[in-house]
Structure 1
């Protein structure tokens, strides 16, 4: 477990200190922990997760409008640890839909595999994944 100081966090995420603290105040960035009277630091894993969440958010912007509405609904209903899993599931749903479109004429059995994955997602969010 590694602790990152403010300058290293700023360099990693590409944001200046002011922007970091504005995002912290809005709840959009992990809070630092106090290391001493005048020093704070972040867990490296927290920063890595935040960066991953930004990548996932970028990827989610490519989703269809119905998926965007679903993401908004699910995101509002979950706590932060559940949001990451929900984002991954919704991204997978979008990937499945794309794969269905790409392989509709294939005879390799991939439709069956994709249908099973889609069913698992539908079972997890039964009231939200209906088209």
Structure 2
């Protein structure tokens, strides 16, 4: 049985698009992933990874919500 997901949460995006969306560099993204403060990448192959667009969008929304509280 296939779960029904929205189009954006089904899409996988690569590092250049993630960097452009979140405004962070590669090293910062990987450090935040290790700290559990950024969505984990998914391995696509031996040398390819990607992130769930829905998870990245949720992370951005969370950051905007946090800023609004401050």
Using the size of structure 2 for normalisation, the TM-score is: 0.84
Which residue of structure 1 lines up, in the alignment, with residue 32 of structure 2? Answer: 23
Q: CA deviation at 1:60?
A: 1.4
SS of the equivalent of 2:44 reads: strand
For the pair shown, the structure with the greater C-alpha radius of gyration is 1
Alpha-carbon distance in structure 1 between the residues aligned to 2:62 and 2:47 = 29
Q: How many residue pairs align between the two structures?
A: 61
Which residue of structure 2 lines up, in the alignment, with residue 60 of structure 1? Answer: 69
Higher relative CO (Cα under 8 Å, sequence separation at least 6) belongs to 2
2:46 counterpart of 1:37: yes
More strand by share: 2
In structure 1, stretches of 5+ residues that fail to align are 62-131
- Among residues 58, 65, 68, which one is paired with 1:49 in the alignment? 58
Structure 1 runs of 4+ with >4 Å offset: none
More helix by share: 1
In structure 2, stretches of 5+ residues that fail to align are 1-9
SS of the equivalent of 1:25 reads: helix
Using the size of structure 1 for normalisation, the TM-score is: 0.46
